[in-house]
Amino acid sequence: MAGGRRRGRGRGRGRGIRFSKLYSFSCIRSSLREDRSQIGQKGYTRVVYCNDPDNPEAVQLNYRGNYVSTTKYTAVNFLPKSLFEQFRRVANIYFLIVACVSFSPLAPYSALSVLAPLLVVIGATMAKEAVEDWRRRKQDIEANNRRVEVYKNNSFCVTKWKDLRVGDIVKVYKDEFFPADLFLLSSSYDDGICYVETSNLDGETNLKLKHALEETSSLHDEKSFQQFKAVINCEDPNEDLYSFVGTLSYGGTPHELSLQQILLRDSKLRNTDYIYGVVIFTGHDTKVMQNATDPPSKRTKIERRMDKIVYILFSTLVLISFIGSFFFGIETRKDISNGKYRRWYLRPDDTTVFYDPQRPILAAFLHFLTGLMLYGYLIPISLYVSIEIVKVLQSIFINQDQDMYYEETDKPAHARTSNLNEELGQVNTILSDKTGTLTCNSMEFVKCSIAGTAYGRGMTEVERALIRRNDRPHEVGDISSDFQGDNGDVDKGKSIKGFNFRDERIMHGHWVNEPHSVVIQNFFRVLAICHTAIPDINEEGEISYEAESPDEAAFVIAARELGFEFFSRTQTCISLHELDHKSGRKVDRTYKLLHVLEFKSSRKRMSVIVKNPENRLLLLSKGADSVMFQRLSKEGRMFEAQTRDHIKRYAEAGLRTLVLTYRELDEEEYKAWEEEFSRAKTSVAADHDALVDAACDKIERDLILLGATAVEDKLQKGVPECIDRLAQAGIKIWVLTGDKMETAINIGYACSLLRQGMKQIVISLDSQEFDVLRKQGNNEAIAKASFESIRKQIMEGNSQLSSAKENPVSFALIIDGESLGFALNKNLKKSFLELAIGCASVICCRSSPKQKALVTRLVKMGTGETTLAIGDGANDVGMLQEAHIGVGISGVEGMQAVMSSDFAIAQFRFLERLLLVHGHWCYRRISMMICYFFYKNIAFGFTLFWFEAYASFSGQPAYNDWYMSFYNVFFTSLPVIALGVFDQDVSARLCLKYPLLYQEGVQNILFSWPRIVGWMLNGVISSIIIFFFTTKSIIPQAFRRDGQITDFEVLGATMYTIVVWAVNCQMALSINYFTWIQHFFIWGSIIFWYIFLVIYGSISPTVSTTAYRVLVEACAPSVLYWLATLLVVISTLLPYYSYRAFQTRFRPLYHDIIQQKRSEGLEIDDTPNELPSRVRDKMHHLKMGLRRS
């Protein structure tokens, strides 16, 4: 390949680039040197017969096939496993026991009437599970039936992924996924390198370089594979993505294998036309499937409290059953006294064991068992399935919300689980990543410092925030050289991705007129040469770059736009179109590429050694200022002071900086170093990496400073407004970032995380005292002093909070990663948490992924409040899984964070609507729904208890069997589902306009114990009114036209009618936002009761029993039936109506205030003067409390 790779070319072999000749590509090894002596021992027993899967020894090994299943169930285990899942719930076990016992004489009703509702509920839930599992099954079918070319019978033929076997040779083309874990044999490049994207594995979109062994890199056609036979001995299947131990026996010689020869399933081939590979792990043995663990089980606060309520209802059930059996035993014992029969009509002389005056204790115990079944309607059988249905429908509304759809990437919001919907309305603390979450993770080259001069005009968003904060625009403007207006738009030309630099002094070739033009020339040469990017030339001749990171791409693009265009890369050369500062013309210059000393997080720098056309050896280096300045020579520090000052200002402006340096090498020095370096890189000792780093460090010294770059990772659209509104809602926001403290602080101001008037508490170990200790190298003394310093700073911070309790002052805590490590110590973390939760905002700088997860756990466990973590990269996965709610940003860092999240959104600003609108609605709906469920079941269940007391605790149910069975399933369930899906206390616009409304969920006002007990008490009161008002109004009266009084069947039908009317009208009173669906379900449920009564009553009396023609012949013709229904229903609703009227007038909730003012056509402020003084005081205290916290 003579130049950049061209799109549209055939699937030919890439000729020319032999990156294996470069250090960073030929000697990339796993970070830990694996011991090959383990091969053959436990954990390292796998044997792969390459290109010989039918070998008898290979067949005996019986490795798994490549079929993959991610389903929860199979056709065989669906029924038992699904039933086991259903009966893990206590309520379902209870109803199962009741259904079984209902076949005995103890049951107060028929077995079928109990069994049918249970089957409906369990069946509906199992059907939902089956549908969800079938969707997973379809995804598996699609993956298993993908096509790949496999070598069989001396030629390549197409087969399905699922048919691959260990040892098969496959051919994978560009932009295709690898079908299994493969050993790389060769590629379209001569020396067997290939590029791999692993975003499906680790979330990283930067390309990884893999390379084949030199011994197999020549295998390129079908003929060459005919004689190829080899054996791989390697580790057994495991989940470690970052290591591989194995050897290849080929041609009688063993060869070491490392991770660099392994291509993992579900990663994608990029920038390479094709590769050949041998299958070593298949199906569930692949590393990606070994990592496919179930996410941590998360349950909401409401669910946990709901379990407690169910236990309370069980206790109530047992209590009233005991009361009933106690009085039944007393009454039964009295029936025979001194040979006299008190209730002779019950024939106490001729009874069964269930009613035996001679054995009243046994009769009472059996009656207790009957009571446990009779009062079982206190437990809502359809509660769980109704909640699941509601949550699924709520998730659909979240997924289809157009206001959370990001058109640019065509990504809507996605609720990956429906179990946590209501938890969205109770978030107390948000823990957020910065890069890619608050920012775009799309780097733009905006400024630079060259030879002590700052270049780059225009304002970053952080600089504009600095101006607003300091009200000193010119001081900030110094670094920008020129202030170009509020939007920083200094050029109306064509927008170039990755390049937002404007300065006429060095653009369009004008740099040749600058005082230090030679330094400027060297600066941009470093940008154009010191990288590992690959040029990509399309059919129109336009060049784009494939780089390992957005920063690196921005540097190469900047060099191109400023006259140093990198256009070609060969195996040992990099070619540029350069602007010659003497002639003013574009010339082609080719640099011989000798070594690439790769970037590592431990080294914090990258270097290349090249020979220029003038045959001079040059070391070009770029890296973090913390490591680069100490490597400068005395002569190379000419611009150090100015550059340091510029870097500091760039950091304050929220920019990411790198220092650029170079030096010229003499031939003898280079040869001596190369010899030492070669020994280090070929070493197989355990300290291989340390030897290589030491050799790199030896050459990367005595550098000459050229300048520094500054790239901007812009804030996402709407981030400041979103954070400001979330703060107004009383939500605490923590940012956990790897940036420097200065950058993080200024980004905090730009995105409104830090605000005017906030007092900052900064915890850091950045002081001269610790610099002295570090130079001494006494690690024990450093650790001890650091611990003591952090402890003291935390105590001082808590003192500041205590002294400011009476003043409405907000605090912000800023802590760096080194200090955070000590603050998380078991002896300090409690006081650190106390300090942190007392602050409105917290910024943790230089945080590692592990620290992010530990901080999240500390907040979750220490406060007991709901936490939400939001991030976009693989380094955020631990944090997302640790938090109560994990939200993934589907950005540019792959899908690992999204795959580990509970909810996925495309932009941070959508979090505002997800929480303040959907979160508030879902919390309110689920809370109301559960409270109403318990209300209606208590109201119904206690009428049974009052009737049993009325009937001498005889165990006789007040209603027909099928009345009771259908109560929760048909007559009252649909309205409550409609409430859970459609109800709104206020509109979405008002939810966003009045963020303080969100505090109803954070403080759990709508599902607090007083409110739950209030609804239960309302149920008991309703049952008392319904039973006693009904019995007193219709039993003494002539009910029928012929003068007959009310009988048992009529009383049951009348009382049941009133119950159905009362609980459904109660629902109508509770709803804030009516739709036609709610009207249809509420009034339809009542009408359906009458229809059912007519149809069921027309069936033979052997089936319908007490319901036989009871409506048509007895109830409907009676005026008393309709009058009693009307008056008792109104009486039942009066207590709740009176309470709500009193509360709305004298003790309104925040949503009551908004509703009241909206009904009056007024738009209100958060604390309007028109409100009653009691309400104003309440809201004022709430806001002050939030501000202090």
Please identify every residue annotated as catalytic.
433
Check: CB of residue 857 under 8 Å from CB of residue 838: no
Check: CB of residue 1077 under 8 Å from CB of residue 982: yes
Amino acid at 996: L
Residue 117: strand, helix, or coil? helix
Amino acid at 245: V
Check: CB of residue 480 under 8 Å from CB of residue 649: no
Tokens, residue 970: 């048909």
CB atoms within 10 A of CB 589: 17
Check: CB of residue 335 under 8 Å from CB of residue 343: yes
Tokens, residue 406: 């990001």
Residue 416 has φ and ψ, to the nearest 5°, of: -75, -15
The candidate with the shortest Cα–Cα distance to 486, out of 521, 459, 451, is 459
What are the angstrom distances between the C-alpha of 587 and each of 264, 504, 565, 583? 43, 22, 10, 10
Cα gap 520→574, rounded to integer Å: 20
- Listing from the earlier edge strand, what are the strands of the sheet with 169-173? 155-160, 147-152, 169-173, 274-281, 181-187, 262-263
Q: Which H or E element spans position 870?
A: strand 866-871
On the 0-12 / 13-18 / 19+ scale of CB atoms within 10 A, 696 is buried
Cα gap 316→941, rounded to integer Å: 11
Check: CB of residue 265 under 8 Å from CB of residue 48: no
CB atoms within 10 A of CB 628: 22
Cα gap 866→922, rounded to integer Å: 15
Cα gap 667→417, rounded to integer Å: 63
Long-range Cβ contacts of 328-334 (<8 Å, 24+ apart): 328/363, 328/364, 328/367, 328/952, 328/953, 328/954, 328/955, 329/360, 329/361, 329/363, 329/364, 329/367, 330/360, 331/952, 331/953, 332/356, 332/357, 332/360, 332/363, 332/364, 333/357, 333/360
Check: CB of residue 445 under 8 Å from CB of residue 466: no
CB atoms within 10 A of CB 101: 17
Question: Maximum distance among all alpha carbons in the chain?
Answer: 133
Residue ranges of alpha helices (H) inside 711-767 are 719-728, 741-750
- As beta bridge partners, residue 775 has none
Tokens, residue 486: 């509020």
